[in-house]
Amino acid sequence: MNHQTKGNTLFIGFPDNGTAHFDFRGDAHKLYSAADVPQLFAIEDGEKLCINANKPLGNEMISIPLYIDQVENGEYSLSMSKGENIPGVQIVLKDLKTGFQQDLKKYPTYNYSASESDELQRFVIAFHQNAYGFEEEEIIDDLVGIYYANGVICITSKGVAEFESADLYVFNLLGQEIHSQGIASVELIRIPFNSDQEYIIVKLIKNGFYIVEKIKL
């Protein structure tokens, strides 16, 4: 992350010995530098991290909330490097303030405006190897994205899909429906959702097409 002449870095990886919880096998605590430098970090089990070593990627999508502290009003950029180290995985940055999402494999730098009043959790970065129902690129780049972070199912729409209402269905891995509702036609929908399931299947039907995502809670 860069702002004027100031920068900060977060390392995210998926090593063989990585886990979904905080430990000292790969994770490292975030230490703040100067008070006037914006700080970028992840949080795992309540611990602020500058290195986040997650469990190896499988078929499910892994969403990691990104937090930025000590923000000043102004223009910023978030850039990804070394994305080629995980081939076959799509990496999407999602701006929770604007609802915009960007494929970081194709466009590794995201420019945005920030203010001191922004929420700490401004972004989510999502990693996934495949989506269900359509080709990944078609879903992410052209129509709809679905992800889960901090007890909320988030659905982003753009292009023609932004102006279409939809029906949402949530299933457990046995195929049993555990939630359903209609969704209005807006860019970003946030649906509070808590469950004792480890994984859920989210299906969205929107004007003649559907998308299905398997998501880890």
> What's the topology of domain 132-217?
Immunoglobulin-like (2.60.40)
pLDDT of 83-128, one tens digit each? Answer: 888 887 888 888 888 878 788 888 899 999 999 999 999 999 988 7
Please tell me which residue, 2 or 159, carries the higher pLDDT value.
2
Name the band, by pLDDT with cuts 50, 70 and 90, for residue 29.
Answer: very high
What is the pLDDT, as a whole number, of residue 96?
A: 86
Using alpha carbons, select from 9, 48, 8 the residue that is nearest to residue 28.
48
57 neighbors 86 (Cβ within 8 angstroms): yes
Q: Which amino acid is at 154?
A: C
